[in-house]
Amino acid sequence: MTETGVVATAHLGANGRDGRVGRSLLRRLLKNRMLLVGGFLILAMVLGAVCAPLLASSDPLRQDTANRLKPPFWETGDLRHPLGTDPLGRDVWSRVLFGSRISLTLGLVAVAVSGSIGTLLGLLAGYYERHVGDLVMRLVDVQLSFPVILLAISVVAVVGRSLPALVAVLAISGWVVYARTVRGSVLSLKGKDFIEATRALGSGGLRILFRHILPNCMAPLLVVATVQMATMIILESGLSFFGLGTQPPTPSWGGMLAEGREYLIAGAWWLTTFPGLAISVTVLGINLLGDGLRDVLDPQLQNH
């Protein structure tokens, strides 16, 4: 067989193995019920956020004091406000839909920023353990000593209340998990034979980190990112509830909870129930998705 034939055969063999691995992974994904249910819930929430202008029954900022504190449609029969209205006559259904845009977008951006920072620091801390590792771990200790609310108050006091400030608070509070996860993976990988072989061939530290070690950290990173997405949404809602997040009249789930708590005694239960359900369903879907991905991607769990 010629040299060209050997190369072609090897190439076809590699493609065949990749295809089998891909099909096996797809089968495991489709068999995991938690992943499917979580993915369905997240897809429904994302579609609701994207299609909010089409699904909303009215403008979420439009006030109609003549219809203030109106109950849901099954009590009134009024389909113009299917989930009722708030104290200013604004449609609750529309505000929940548009509030999902704020919560999901902020959660996604915060995960992207904190994940990038934490992953980079974790890679450097694990590979350059003596020089960079101690410094990063001390930063982790300092970060963990600050309560999130205190950190939010400090950032808001310096830069003011804005969406970028809220993203900064969420990102600063979330990078630690990525850094510790990636650092542990790097410490276990950098002594492997394939890393030693790559180093013996003359590859530099940065090339080894980003071409050989980082791809092997993606599975745990993906699971951590899904869990952190749920955490970011809860944090954003909590900060908005305390007045440190999204400011009125922009609708957000946490802000709606804060506005509706004063009317619970008056019997206006729908003001807090529906944004609370939106938060719960979103976080449940993300957690189920994360658990499903962990079961599929973790080789130790696959052997049980």
Instruction: Tell me the per-residue pLDDT of 60-106, one tens digit each, with 9 for 90 and over.
Output: 988 888 888 999 988 877 788 899 999 998 999 999 999 999 889 88
pLDDT in tens, 71-83: 998 887 778 889 9
pLDDT of residue 5: 45
Distance CA 276, CA 101 (A): 15
Residue 24 is predicted with a pLDDT of 65
- 30-302, CATH topology level: MetI-like fold (1.10.3720)
| Preceding amide of 220 cis, omega within 30 | no
- The whole-number pLDDT of residue 10 equals 37
Predicted confidence at residue 13, as pLDDT, reads: 46
Would you list the DSSP string of 29-94? HHH-HHHHHHHHHHHHHHHHHHTHHHH-SS-TT---GGGTTPPPHHHH--TTSTT-B-TT--BHHH
Asked whether the predicted pLDDT for residue 1 surpasses 50, the reply is: no
Q: Is the pLDDT of residue 298 over 80?
A: no
pLDDT at res. 235: 86
Q: What is the SS3 assignment for 2? A: coil
Looking at residue 6, what is its pLDDT? 38
106 closest CA partner among 1, 244, 258? 244
- In this structure, of 15-19, 47-51, 247-251, the range with the lowest mean pLDDT score is 15-19
Q: Is the pLDDT of residue 181 over 80?
A: yes
Assess whether pLDDT exceeds 60 at residue 17: no
How crowded is residue 43: how many other Cβ atoms within 10 Å of its Cβ? 12
pLDDT tier for residue 21 given thresholds of 50, 70 and 90: low
Give Rg (Cα) of the chain: 24
- The residue assigned the tokens 């092997």 is 216
Long-range contact pairs involving 77-82 (C-beta distance under 8 Å, separation at least 24):
81/57, 82/57
Decide: helix, strand or coil at residue 128. Answer: coil
Alpha-carbon distance values, 238 to 2, 75, 241, 276, 279 (Å): 67, 30, 5, 11, 11
Burial of 71-100, coded b for 16+ CB within 10 Å and e otherwise, reads bbbeeeeeeebbbbbbbbbbbbbbbbbbbb
Separation of alpha carbons 282 and 41, rounded Å: 7
Read off the pLDDT band of 43 (50, 70, 90).
very high
Is residue 282 within 8 Å of 301, Cβ to Cβ? no
Whether 191 shows a pLDDT value over 60: the answer reads yes
Delimit the domains of the chain by residue range.
30-302
Which residue did the predictor score with more confidence, 30 or 122? Answer: 122
List the structure tokens of 265. 């005694």
Question: Which structure tokens are listed for 264?
Answer: 């619970």
255 pLDDT exceeds 60? yes
Q: List the beta bridge partners of residue 115.
A: none
Q: Greater confidence, 154 or 5? A: 154
pLDDT of residue 276: 92
Give me the chain's average pLDDT, please. Answer: 82
| Distance (Å, whole) CA 255 – CA 250 | 9
Nearest alpha-carbon partner for 219 in 284, 140, 282, 301: 301
- Judged against a pLDDT cut of 90, whether residue 47 lies above it is answered with yes
Find the mean pLDDT for residues 3-7. 40
pLDDT tens digits for 120-144?
999 988 888 777 888 888 888 888 8
